[in-house]
Chains A and B, each alone.
Chain A
Amino acid sequence: MEITVKVNGKQVTREVEGRTTLSTFLREDLSLTGTHIGCDTSGCGACTVHVDGKAVKSCTLLAGQVDGCEVKTIEGLAENGKMHPLQDSFKEKHGLQCGFCTPGMIMLVSDFLETNPSPSEDEIRHALEGNFCRCTGYHNIVAAIKDAAETMSA
């Protein structure tokens, strides 16, 4: 089937198989390899992207389901070369180590902070529960999110 999707602000039209997931479409068809695949049960969240502004696990959607939608990936988060405050805070607070879960974490939280601009630590930890990180013990991810929330609401 043919789909037309606006990805990171650019309209693309591609022929895809019915079974192609959004994560595979982004990685294989569009070479947007910043979206990572860490599992096969929607358990890890490494593939999180935005579809029409909402954070979703791109392995749980078929490419065909996003026909006509707007998709934003980690590659499209910085605007005009300026990093999103979360990208800055993750660096500042050492919220990443191997980097594999990082794009999914940031895409998840950039949506979360839209709905909850000044979350408590408990709310942050609850919001992160669909995304695994095996490196940081979450300590510095939580610190980075608090830091970004402060920057964004300042």
Chain B
Amino acid sequence: MSFIGKSVKRIEDKRFLTGKGKYTDDIKLVGMTHAHIVRSPYAHAKVLSIDTAAAKAHDGVVAVFVGSDIEGIVGVPTGWQVNFKNGDTMKEPAHPLLVRDNVRHVGDAVAVVIAETKEIARDAADLVEVDYDVMDAVTDPKKATAPGAPQVHPDAPNNICFDWELGNPVEEVDAALASAHHVTTLEFINQRMIPNAMEPRSAIGHYDDALDKYTLYTSTQNPHLIRLLLCAFVLGIPEHKVRIVSHDVGGGFGSKIFHYTEEALMVWVSKQINRPVKWTSDRSEAFMTDAHGRDHVTTANMGFDKDGKIVALKSDTFANMGAYLATFAPAVPTYLHGTLLQGLYTTPLINVNVVAAFTHTNSVDAYRGAGRPEATYLLERLIDLGALEMDMDPAELRKKNFIPAFDGIEQPGYQTQVALQYDSGDYQPVLDKALEMVGYEDFRAEQKKSLENGKLLGIGFSTYVEACGIAPSAVVGALGARAGLFESAQVRVQPTGKVSVYTGSHSHGQGHETTFVQVVADKLGIPMEDVDLIHGDSDAVAFGMGTYGSRSLAVGGSAIVKSIEKVLEKGAKIAAHKLEASVDDLDYAEGKWTVKGTDRSIAFGDVSLTAYVPHDYPADLEPGLDFSSFYDPANFTYPFGCHIAIVEIDKETGKVKLKRFIAVDDVGNVINPMIVDGQIHGGLAQGIGQALLEGAIYDEGGQLINGSYMDYTMPRADDLPSFEIDRTVTPCPHNPLGVKGAGEAGCIGSTPAVVNAVIDALWKAGHKVKDIQMPMTSERVWNAMNN
């Protein structure tokens, strides 16, 4: 039975389509109380006093806690250490569960009110009186590092978290730029994004005093890592006494990777009141406190020789960390961004500098793509602008600079100037295919003709490579990660030959319950109905590193394959015994072992039954058929692709209409094409959203002024066209499935394609603007045409 490569319809759909999904806020426990968190309305203020008397006296209130009630608990940690280029240690201020001294961003938690109902908790929270001494705030990462800027933390001078460098010596890069035929320079802001998973975060803490055991139900992408951080770093409670459950999670996009203060707070509160307690974010809180993404202020230079070959690249970035370091924050602008600035080009000299700064804003961490969209934006804006400035064709300029094809087997991986070694790549075919799909020559003719008729059409390219399958533990450990990034899997064959698979990956939309089952059923040659996937419960699954960085199939799937291999190896010994044959004489196919060249065979289910009823059994073999594996990848995986946008600009209003979007992605082998296409679609919408519609806006005082769906313009159905997508397949050479990961590709490639298309339209109409700040609202585009 072959399932790999088929668009099998999703197993998980039925419960979602009938309203039977089980998200954290759907859970009700006996005796459960409800929490409401009192949050700062100011970006930077000293907390002079907190009066909780009236709230405590309110009918139905169970308890009220403030920061001084949880002395001894420092706060939630970060999971990655990135040091200064001079060797100094990264500045790592505490992120307390409830602040005790100063609030440092709008939404910082000051107190928590626990009551019998959600409504009472909210009413009573209004009765908590907090006296603030408001101070000046800083929200821009570059301004934050200027002398005299308001300070976020006393122990991080000039608000600098670290000042980091990667690549070739800056003097060599500067010299190459100085002697280049042409240098394209761009100063730009990759604006702050708010992930906006549709399910608001929710956490239920439940301390059971009879068992002395804690359960945390939480909307996380990452249950085991949350348990590890919660136990070992935050509350100091024993790990074997804590269970983390995350059943259905309504989207993550990065924002649910991290260990949030509310999770630890609910566990701690539950112990204090000896009752379960639920907190569910409302959307306003989500805007203020779900970790944001991007927020880079960058100056970059790309030098070309007279033939258009790139001779050097230099970039200087100020990366906003927000007020506190979230779980992976330091890694995002450095090892997930600086390391990708080779792109898919042969650039011989690259220097990257990143200053990470604290500001009076919410934390910034991984948002779909996490560093790789920023790297792709930087490179693809520069090369497209370079083509315009040098009057060259943007597709031809890319072709001149592509790294030649390498499969990672016959030809070695490609060693970049910025630490990584790409596994396999064949870049020109994705561009050629996309050019064919778009009808490039015809489009250029149409563009010219349209201009004569007063219509502004533009085409924008983006060719990208990214790093997924995060990550080889030894490599990331050397780069400052405080965790390994392997994955675990258990394949438990039941006596009747039915199979339960336990994975440390977590599905929150990706369809693992289908894709992973396809892999298992395919490899074992049994029906998909005979296989079930269990995830999202730390008591059921041995261990896990969660789902992010497009890692689940490449790392989690590979761990499953390892366990399947062990099942088949032991199964063969049992089969050989029953068939009175040698293991070497057996073939396994279609769910049975057969003695080669005969019709003597034994079915998978008969072997599994024998393993659990071992009456007639090999003497040296343990009973049972149940194997766990841990898989640590040999390298990252490197998907790549080409995205092309076609836009039309309304001359009168500056409104940009995205007319077509073409994406050709290479994500390695594909298990379920339908699901991979769906991942690409969703990523495209988010990447296009950044280009045209979205962006967090903090005012000078640190107020988030578009923190609602009335103000933050996430893409709606009528903002987008149907997408035109296709793929090429260049297998990953170092994992058993040959897969590379598809979760982020759409979001990584698409943003610069749209911006480049708008810039192209303007240049062709004689407006030689280098940049338009995203999101490219009609006002900004109109100004670009008229100033």
Contacts and interface: CB of A to CB of B under 8 A. Distances in A.
Interface of A: 17, 19, 27, 31-41, 43-44, 46, 73-75, 77-78, 83, 87, 90-92, 94, 96-103, 106, 121-122, 124-126, 128-129, 131-143
B696 to A, nearest CB: 16
Residue of A78, A124, A134 ringed by the most chain B CB atoms within 10 A: A134
20 contacts: A19-B119, A32-B19, A34-B19, A36-B23, A37-B25, A40-B708, A43-B710, A73-B19, A83-B17, A91-B14, A96-B17, A97-B678, A98-B198, A98-B249, A98-B508, A102-B16, A134-B198, A134-B251, A137-B686, A139-B723
Contacts of A96: 13, 16-17
Contacts of B197: 98, 100, 134
Contacts of B23: 33, 36, 100
Given A38-B283, A87-B17, A137-B720, A97 B709 contact: no
Contacts of B26: 27, 33
B682 A134 contact: yes
B716 interface: yes
A31 to B, nearest CB: 7
A40 B284 contact: yes
B199 A98 contact: yes
Contacts of B710: 41, 43
Given A125-B717, A142-B717, A36 B18 contact: no
Interface in B207-232: none
Given A99-B509, A132-B714, A134-B253, A41 B19 contact: no
A135 B718 contact: no
Contacts of B12: 99
A100 B18 contact: no
A74 B722 CA distance: 27
A75 B14 CA distance: 12
A75 B685 CA distance: 29
Contacts of A43: 283, 708-710
A32 B709 CA distance: 25
B251 A100 contact: yes
B250 A36 contact: yes
Contacts of A140: 678, 681
A94 B680 CA distance: 13
Contacts of B714: 132, 134
A46 B198 CA distance: 8
Contacts of A134: 196-198, 251, 253, 682, 685-686, 714
A133 B352 CA distance: 36
B20 A34 contact: yes
A73 B17 CA distance: 11
A131 B12 CA distance: 22
B9 interface: yes
Nearest to A92: B9
A122 B199 CA distance: 27
A128 B19 contact: no
Given A41-B709, A96-B17, A121 B722 contact: yes
Interface string B2-16: 000000011011111
A133 B9 contact: no
Nearest to A139: B681
Interface in B222-277: 248-251, 253
B325 to A, nearest CB: 25
B250 A137 contact: no
Contact of B17 (A46, A98, A102): A102
Nearest to A87: B17
A78 B746 CA distance: 34
B19 A35 contact: yes
Residue of B253, B681, B710 ringed by the most chain A CB atoms within 10 A: B681
A9 B311 CA distance: 71
Contacts of B678: 94, 97, 135-136, 140
Contact of B685 (A103, A121, A137): A137
Interface in B489-524: 508-511
A143 B511 CA distance: 19
Contacts of A132: 196, 198, 709, 714, 716
Interface in B462-503: none
Contacts of A99: 12-13, 15-17, 21, 248, 250, 509
B722 A139 contact: yes
Nearest to B14: A91
Nearest to A93: B674
B459 interface: no
Interface of B: 9-10, 12-23, 25-26, 28, 119, 196-200, 248-251, 253, 282-284, 508-511, 674-675, 677-678, 681-686, 708-710, 714-718, 720, 722-723, 746
Contact of B18 (A39, A75, A94): A75
A141 to B, nearest CB: 7
A5 B251 CA distance: 33
B681 A91 contact: no
A42 to B, nearest CB: 8
A133 B719 CA distance: 12
A38 B682 CA distance: 18
Contacts of A97: 251, 509-511, 678, 682
Nearest to A137: B685
A41 B681 contact: no
B298 to A, nearest CB: 27
A38 B198 contact: yes
A98 B708 CA distance: 21
A107 to B, nearest CB: 10
A31 B675 contact: no
Given A43-B708, A102-B16, A129-B718, 19 more contacts: A34-B21, A35-B19, A38-B283, A39-B709, A41-B283, A74-B18, A90-B17, A91-B13, A97-B511, A99-B509, A101-B250, A103-B19, A132-B196, A134-B197, A134-B251, A135-B198, A138-B715, A139-B722, A139-B723
B663 to A, nearest CB: 11
A144 to B, nearest CB: 11
Contacts of B25: 33, 37
A128 B717 CA distance: 6
Contacts of A139: 681, 685, 720, 722-723
A36 to B, nearest CB: 7
A92 B28 CA distance: 32
A102 B250 CA distance: 10
Contact of B723 (A27, A38, A137): A137
A17 B117 CA distance: 12
B19 A44 contact: no
Contacts of B509: 97-99, 135
Residue of B26, B198, B248, B708 ringed by the most chain A CB atoms within 10 A: B198
Contacts of A27: 26
Contacts of A135: 198, 251, 509, 678, 682
B198 A101 contact: yes
Given A129-B718, A132-B709, A137-B684, A78 B119 contact: no
A28 B664 CA distance: 46
Contacts of A39: 282-283, 708-709
A143 B9 CA distance: 15
Nearest to A133: B198
Nearest to A143: B722
Contacts of B718: 122, 125-126, 128-129
B593 to A, nearest CB: 36
